[in-house]
Structure 1
Amino acid sequence: MAGLTTGHRLRSMTEADIAEVMRLERALFPGDAWSEGMLRDEMTGDGRHYVVAESVAEGRIIGYAGLRAVPPEGDVQTIAVDAAHWGGGVGTALLTELLAEAHRRGVTDVFLEVRSDNPRAQRLYRRFGFTELGVRRGYYKDADAIVMRRSAPAGDAGEEKTR
């Protein structure tokens, strides 16, 4: 699994992580948080890949992400980073891992929805080659969703494009 910035690591999400992930989910998405049941269903569904980012120094989960893969397509189901760790490369590492897993599973087109009022996330996705396909009005309780897609060229393992 892809590494993170110094002091952090990625690992597969486990049942033991659910309480901590749900704490972050509710804090980061108060109006649209998944229920614990939804998270459990997602983790165990066919074609799913869920990971957490752990702070080695703090000994706690600081981010999480999930992928649904049904080749040749996949969806970033969720990606979240504790606000105290924004800008530290955690989101980049999580997305890199999801795209690498998508590639391993034979996914060539990855889709996602991102809040229209979240420019930070939109910039992250664009850096990875995602482009806007359209808008889903009222997708979130208080915002529209921008639908994005990334088509991976042959041989691409999902790494961030450099400029």
Structure 2
Amino acid sequence: MRLATPADVEEIAFAELELFPDEAWNVFQLAEEIEHPDRRYVIAAAGADASGELLGYAGIMLAGDLADLHTIGTLREGVGMGRALLAWCEEQARRGGAERLLLEVREDNDRARSFYTRAGYQEIDRRKGYYRIRGRRIDALVMQRDLRA
């Protein structure tokens, strides 16, 4: 894994389209995120120096004692990539002074909900109609994990 740079934006944007076709971030949004001083973005890529094929990516926003998981995406399932990316985000949040990490997950995304629950996240709120997918409104479940433990 290595820190994401503006040079990675196009490849991440293509991955976003593959993984999240209805809510993908575009290259401009991703570039702004990666360059923002209160954001931390990482990519996982093949090769010893992480310069090969993109395998996954993740990013957080730091906000005092709280951090938000903005995105996490894996292009290779079942090898622990998501867990490694989430662990990186949690560590970056701690280093940035966060005591808790928040995230939103689509209510209908059972796989992601299960992943976060296994990682120690608990549902704390619901955002009604947060996602707008093909004319449907889907609730977002807000989950959090205490990073002090």
Does the TM-score normalized on the shorter chain lie above 0.5?
Answer: yes
Q: Unmatched 5+ residue regions in structure 2? A: none
Distance in 2, matches of 1:88 and 1:119, equals 19
Contact 2:90 2:147 in 1 (8 A): no
Structure 2 SS opposite 1:144? strand
Q: Specify which structure has the higher proportion of strand.
A: 2
Q: CA deviation at 1:128?
A: 2.1
Structure 1 residue aligned with 2:67: 74
Q: Unmatched 5+ residue regions in structure 1? A: 1-9, 157-163
What's the CA shift string for 1:35-58, capped at 9, x where partnerless? 211111111113110000112299
Distance in 1, matches of 2:6 and 2:31, equals 8
- The answer on 1:48 being equivalent to 2:4 is no
Distance in 1, matches of 2:67 and 2:139, equals 21
Correspondences of 1:123-162 after superposition (within 5 Å)? 123-142=114-133, 143-153=138-148, 156=149
Correspondences of 1:2-151 after superposition (within 5 Å)? 10-56=1-47, 59-82=52-75, 85-142=76-133, 143-151=138-146
Which gives a bigger RCO, structure 1 or 2 (Cα 8 Å, sep 6+)?
Answer: 1
* TM superposition score normalised by structure 2: 0.90
Q: CA deviation at 1:141?
A: 1.6
What percentage of aligned pairs have identical amino acids? 39
Amino acid at match of 1:144: D
Distance in 2, matches of 1:140 and 1:146, equals 11
* TM superposition score normalised by structure 1: 0.82
Q: How many residues align?
A: 143
Amino acid at match of 1:149: Q
Structure 2 SS opposite 1:26? helix
Structure 1 SS opposite 2:129? coil
Amino acid at match of 1:59: G
- Bigger shift: residues 55-64 or 97-106: 55-64
What's the CA shift string for 1:74-114, capped at 9, x where partnerless? 000000111xx111100000000000111111100111001
Contact 2:66 2:100 in 1 (8 A): yes
What's the CA shift string for 1:136-163, capped at 9, x where partnerless? 122112332111011122xx4xxxxxxx
Distance in 2, matches of 1:123 and 1:47, equals 28
